[in-house]
Amino acid sequence: MFKQSILTLTFILLAANAQQNNNCCEDYCYSTDSERSQTKNYATKTAYDIAKGSDSDSQRSAIVPGCQPVKFWLLARHGTRLPGANDIDNLRRLTNLRDDILENYRTRRTKPSQGALCDEDLELLQNWRWNNNVSVQYESYLTEQGWNDLKFLALHYRGLFPSVLQPIYDRSRFLFRHTNTERTEASYKAFVEGLFGDRAYENIQLPPIPPKDYLLRPYDICPAYQENSKKNKDSSSEYQKFLESPLYKETVSDISVRLGFRYTLQPKQIEAIWDMCRYEQAWHVDQLSPWCSVLTKKQVDVLEYSEDVKNYYKNGYGESLNSKVACHAASDMLKHLSSDSNPIVIAYFTHDAEVQLFLTAIGAKKDFDALRADNFYQMTRRKWHTGQIAPFAANLAAIKYQCDDPREQHKIIFFLNQKPLDFEWCRVGLCNWSEVQRKFEYFNRANCDNDYCSGSFANQLLPSIFLCVILALIVHLRN
Ligand SMILES: *[C@@H]1O[C@H](CO)[C@@H](O)[C@H](O)[C@H]1NC(C)=O
Ligand SMILES: *[C@@H]1O[C@H](CO)[C@@H](O)[C@H](O)[C@H]1NC(C)=O
């Protein structure tokens, strides 16, 4: 009897398994989905237009009764860019993959019986062409959309704070700087064009970029950070464990089955699909990207999580060193907000790692639980969503207000991607300056040159705790 039920169960499982082979996933048709909510979840290649807060919401938050904005500080990632040199060859191979998919569907007849691409999506794929702008010569260059990302960002903030972001450039009031790359330089130009009008950058002199850019690219000159970044390659890392998890493997297998392959696609091929989808969606926000049609919403969530995990350990709370790497930028912000003198406006143009490290430094977007390989489902409502915190043109703006309230004359609002950052020690995004100083006291006192790359807060505490214990022991023994 028992044996028989085991046999029956085995049979059922086998049958289910056999069916699964020609069956992949939920039915989804990207072309006819007018909402396409997954485009918010494209991790650090999310389009800014899709990630940013609504203009009316930020307008409401920016108006503080009894207070006038007096200072502005901005840390912005460059806008949408072209792929880097290392990715171009891999992306170009998508032409072959596309041809294989069409053949699977039309000639080999290996498309799944359930969950296949809809006709519209297949047609999108058929009409896809390699974009000749993607070349080594222009690797990582800012795109037209990327230019507009920053230009409209400037117009947005100018609209919110016209008395601070005045429309005439004055070198004592404004300070700008970018890193030593085309995409951040172009982002800066787009931003000042938004502030002051066409080609305004032609009449602006910038401070020189130091060879060691502690302020905007500290992670490039911090060996401990570089070492730590490599840990994501270790098989014991949460990132690698997630890539090896049944959930991730099933996702890769589902993507392969859905496209009509009888074998599982290589990690490089999945990466190319996912990257091309996200780049194209960010280059042309209002158009469909054929490669996005290849991924269902659930598959996007899994791919997104893998990147969020990777970034959590590389730039976020997963590693204690990370809270100090942006020390110079955090202390620069505090210094700027503390003083009443010029410059009134500071705007820096940098990269996604720096924006993430800065958020980690100030304790923003911190989850109670760590992102791990085994808690994908528990973390669906996590704060550490890189698509929301570090999309293209990601930016953190700190605005200081002068207020009538005699008890708290200064207040601060932090906007992340045009949404007020809601620290629990602030009130709907509005923070008391005294509280900001208390919370970020470390960066007021820190010697960033020494600290930005050396261990953690905890590591510094440990020796002193150890010393205390020894001292206590000595005192105890003497008595
Ligand atoms: C290529 O770049 C040019 C100039 O920036 C732009 O006008 C064009 O739309 C781009 N082509 C594609 C396919 O993105
Ligand atoms: C800010 O300071 C005022 C005056 O001291 C106080 O009443 C208020 O509760 C403080 N707000 C926050 C969010 O701490």
Provide DSSP, 419-477: EE---TTSBTTEEEHHHHHHHTHHHHH--HHHHTTS--HHHHHHHHHHHHHHHHHHHHH
- CA of 111 relative to ligand 1 center, distance in Å: 34
Average pLDDT over residues 276-293: 97
User: pLDDT-based confidence at 455, cuts 50/70/90?
Assistant: low
477 belongs to a structural domain:
no
CB 330 within 8 A of CB 358: yes
Mean pLDDT of the chain: 92
pTM attached to this predicted model: 0.90
SS3 348: strand
User: pLDDT-based confidence at 22, cuts 50/70/90?
Assistant: low
What would the pLDDT profile of 249-269 be if each residue is shown by its tens digit? Answer: 999 999 999 999 999 999 999
CB 179 within 8 A of CB 349: yes
Q: Which residue owns the Cα nearest ligand 1 atom 4?
A: 144
Is the model's pLDDT at 242 over the cut of 90? yes
8 belongs to a structural domain:
no
- Could you tell me if the CB of 271 is within 6 A of ligand 2? no
Q: What angle is formed at CA 202 by the lines to CA 201 and CA 203, rounded to 5 degrees?
A: 90
Is the model's pLDDT at 14 over the cut of 80? no
Query: 211 lies in which domain range?
Result: 42-452
Between these two residues, 23 and 383, which has the higher pLDDT value? 383
What would the pLDDT profile of 46-83 be if each residue is shown by its tens digit? Answer: 999 999 999 888 999 999 999 999 999 999 999 999 99
437 belongs to a structural domain:
yes
Task: Quote the number of domains for the chain.
Answer: 1
Radius of gyration of the chain (CA): 25
469 belongs to a structural domain:
no
471 belongs to a structural domain:
no
User: pLDDT-based confidence at 472, cuts 50/70/90?
Assistant: low
Percent above pLDDT 90 for the chain: 87
Residue type for position 240: Q
Query: Is 328 in the active site?
Result: no
| Other C-beta atoms lying within 10 Å of the C-beta of residue 108 | 13
- Per-residue pLDDT, 218: 98
Average pLDDT over residues 457-477: 49
324 belongs to a structural domain:
yes
- Per-residue pLDDT, 4: 52
CATH of the domain at 196: 3.40.50.1240
Average pLDDT over residues 219-230: 96
Sign of CA dihedral 267, 269, 275, 278: negative
What would the pLDDT profile of 94-111 be if each residue is shown by its tens digit? Answer: 999 999 999 999 999 999
Among residues 49, 78, 178, 254, the one annotated as catalytic is 78
Is the model's pLDDT at 358 over the cut of 60? yes
248 belongs to a structural domain:
yes
- Per-residue pLDDT, 475: 53
Is the model's pLDDT at 462 over the cut of 50? no
What would the pLDDT profile of 285-336 be if each residue is shown by its tens digit? Answer: 999 999 999 999 999 999 999 999 999 999 999 999 999 999 999 999 999 9
- Could you tell me if the CB of 478 is within 6 A of ligand 2? no
Helix (H) or strand (E) holding 187: helix 182-196
* CA distances, 267 to each of 99, 249, 251, 270, 356 (Å): 19, 10, 11, 5, 26
Which of 91, 133, 289 for a ligand 1 pocket mutation test, highest count of atoms within 8 Å of Cβ? 133
| Other C-beta atoms lying within 10 Å of the C-beta of residue 243 | 18
Average pLDDT over residues 120-140: 96
24 belongs to a structural domain:
no
Average pLDDT over residues 212-216: 97
Is the model's pLDDT at 418 over the cut of 90? yes
Among residues 121, 275, 308, 352, the one annotated as catalytic is 352
